């Protein structure tokens, strides 16, 4: 047991190191070539003569890399919590329909408002922040439905099925909106569903950073409860866990983390499902006190890596982040399955 703890602490330290390296690499690589020494100088807040370089690093690459860190951490922890809550290895941050809710909000904003003759040109604030606001409202609506369901229904698996049903019906509504929308609107919406780390600004990051840190801290604080929950509801209750309260807290934290991330970066797939499995596999423990920091760091590493890959060399284009997370995530999970001949069960 002691050896495992020591090994895991070393692993965590290594992951912090690789995350730092990937972060710097992410700032260094891009369509415009900037010498590494200049990147460091700019990061240190010193003045350099090339104004455009400073602008590229601080206003474009820095928020993008920071967004990768925040999304990676938030989605991975959400996925871990959902897998523990539902004892299901395929559960992820979006299993409860949070992303569908966000999608509905965004589709109403992008495609629905014009149907009702509401023009955005008269609301400059809405034009800038509309997607974020509507996405968040959509997630929040799904969250309220889920909380009501947990309050009314005794069985958490029923809540899971309800979450999936909510997701399906919302997707039906979205498809109707898509059917009646024009090409430009449709493209805007489809682009949103592909996820993007580059739309977020430094100011926005400063707003969501404390919120996400708070939620991540909360998920770490309930580690002991998550561990107890692995024994099954009845045993957990008999050992002092208030089940209903615990389930509410887990859903709240997950919806909060996922809702915020999705509002700013769109639904980013795969990270939340894959990372907890990698965390369990390399740490060889079911203890959430280790799994949560491990998932956070692995999520950060993988999303930074995805972001680095998404930048096409010598061109202005950035590939959709969702395509990259799938390209990275799926081989990893296949490798895990082949190596272990099975996927480690949750718990």
Partner 1 sequence: MNNVVAISDLQIGYENQPLVSHINATINSGELVCIIGRNGEGKSTLIKTLCKLIKPQFGKATINNHDLFGMSDKDFAQLISVVLTSKIAINQTSVKEFVAYGRYPFTNWIGTLTEHDQQLINNAIDFCGIGHLAHRDFSSLSDGEKQKVNIARTIAQNTPIIILDEPTAHLDLVNNIEVFKLLKTLTTDYHKIIVLSTHHIELAIQLADKIWMFNKGFFMEEKPKSILEKGLINTLFENDGVQYNSLTNTFIFDK
Q: Which is nearer to partner 1, 27 or 290 (by Cβ)?
A: 290
Q: Which stretch binds partner 1 (CB under 8 A): 72-80, 235-243, 249-257, 313-321?
A: 235-243
The beta strands (E) that lie in the chain are given as none
Q: Which is nearer to partner 1, 7 or 87 (by Cβ)?
A: 87
Q: Which stretch binds partner 1 (CB under 8 A): 185-193, 240-248, 270-278, 326-334?
A: 240-248
DSSP letter, residue 40: H
Euclidean distance between CA atoms 338 and 342, whole angstroms: 7
Euclidean distance between CA atoms 171 and 94, whole angstroms: 13
Q: Which stretch binds partner 1 (CB under 8 A): 38-46, 109-117, 183-191, 277-285?
A: 277-285
Contact 77, 295 (CB under 8 A): yes
Q: Please, what is the minimum distance in Å from the beta carbon of residue 240 to partner 1?
A: 4
Burial label, 159 (beta-carbon count in 10 A; 0-12, 13-18, 19+):
buried
Instruction: Give the one residue of 239, 313, 316, 341 binding partner 1; rule: CB under 8 A.
Output: 239
Instruction: Give the one residue of 49, 51, 182, 234 binding partner 1; rule: CB under 8 A.
Output: 234
Contact 215, 257 (CB under 8 A): yes
Q: Which is nearer to partner 1, 12 or 120 (by Cβ)?
A: 12
Q: Please, what is the minimum distance in Å from the beta carbon of residue 299 to partner 1?
A: 20
Measure the CA angle with vertex 205, ends 11 and 103; round to 5°.
Answer: 95
Instruction: Give the one residue of 240, 314, 317, 339 binding partner 1; rule: CB under 8 A.
Output: 240
Told to check if 223 binds partner 1 by CB under 8 A, we report yes
Instruction: Give the one residue of 230, 252, 318, 333 binding partner 1; rule: CB under 8 A.
Output: 230
Q: To the nearest 10°, report the CA torsion of 206, 207, 208, 214.
A: 90
Q: Which is nearer to partner 1, 123 or 151 (by Cβ)?
A: 151
Q: Which is nearer to partner 1, 90 or 312 (by Cβ)?
A: 90
Euclidean distance between CA atoms 152 and 159, whole angstroms: 10
| Number of residues lying near partner 1 (CB under 8 A) | 28
Q: Please, what is the minimum distance in Å from the beta carbon of residue 237 to partner 1?
A: 6
Euclidean distance between CA atoms 193 and 179, whole angstroms: 16
Nearest residue to 271 via CA among 67, 74, 99, 106 = 74
Q: Which stretch binds partner 1 (CB under 8 A): 34-42, 50-58, 226-234, 295-303?
A: 226-234
Told to check if 7 binds partner 1 by CB under 8 A, we report no
DSSP letter, residue 86: H
Q: Please, what is the minimum distance in Å from the beta carbon of residue 311 to partner 1?
A: 37
Nearest residue to 337 via CA among 327, 345, 347 = 345
Instruction: Give the one residue of 128, 232, 334, 340 binding partner 1; rule: CB under 8 A.
Output: 232
Binding mask 139-178 for partner 1 (x = CB under 8 A): ----------------------------------------
List own/partner pairs for 206-213 with CB under 8 A and 24 or more apart: 208/70, 208/260, 208/264, 209/66, 209/70, 211/256, 211/260, 212/70, 212/73, 212/74, 212/257, 212/260, 212/261
What is the token pair recorded at 297?
């760091």
Number of residues that make up the chain: 347
Q: Which stretch binds partner 1 (CB under 8 A): 59-67, 157-165, 198-206, 282-290?
A: 282-290
Binding mask 284-313 for partner 1 (x = CB under 8 A): xxxx-x------------------------
The footprint of partner 1 (CB under 8 A) covers 1, 87, 221, 223-224, 227-228, 230-232, 234-235, 237-242, 280, 284-287, 289, 344-347
């Amino acid at each position: 047991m002691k050896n495992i703890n020591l090994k895991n602490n070393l692993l965590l330290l290594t992951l912090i190191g690789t995350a730092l390296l990937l972060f710097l690499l992410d700032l260094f690589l891009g369509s415009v070539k900037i010498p590494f020494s200049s990147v460091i100088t700019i990061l240190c807040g010193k003045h350099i003569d090339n104004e455009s370089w400073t602008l590229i690093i601080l206003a474009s690459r820095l928020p993008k890399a920071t967004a990768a860190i925040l999304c990676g951490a938030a989605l991975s922890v959400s996925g871990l919590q959902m897998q523990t809550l539902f004892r299901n290895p395929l559960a992820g941050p979006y299993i409860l329909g949070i992303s569908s809710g966000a999608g509905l909000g965004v589709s109403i904003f992008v495609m629905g408002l014009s149907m009702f003759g509401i023009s955005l040109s008269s609301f400059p604030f809405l034009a800038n922040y509309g997607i974020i606001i509507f996405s968040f409202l959509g997630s929040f609506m799904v969250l309220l439905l889920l909380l009501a369901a947990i309050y009314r229904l005794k069985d958490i698996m029923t809540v899971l099925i309800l979450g999936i049903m909510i997701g399906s019906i919302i997707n039906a509504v979205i498809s109707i909106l898509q059917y009646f929308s024009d090409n430009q609107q449709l493209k805007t919406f489809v682009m949103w569903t592909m996820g993007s780390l580059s739309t977020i600004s430094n100011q926005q990051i400063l707003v969501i950073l404390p919120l996400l840190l708070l939620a991540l801290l909360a998920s770490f604080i309930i580690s002991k409860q998550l561990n107890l929950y692995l024994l099954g509801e009845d045993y957990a209750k008999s050992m002092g866990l208030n089940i209903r309260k615990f389930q509410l807290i887990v859903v709240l934290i997950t919806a909060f983390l996922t809702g915020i991330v999705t509002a700013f970066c769109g639904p980013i797939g795969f990270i939340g499902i894959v990372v907890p499995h990698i965390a369990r596999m390399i740490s060889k423990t079911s203890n959430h006190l280790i799994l949560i920091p491990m998932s956070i760091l692995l999520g950060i590493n993988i999303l930074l890596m995805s972001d680095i890959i998404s930048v096409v060399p010598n061109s202005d284009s950035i590939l959709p982040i969702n395509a990259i997370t799938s390209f990275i995530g799926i081989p990893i999970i296949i490798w895990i399955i082949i190596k272990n001949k099975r996927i480690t069960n949750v718990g």
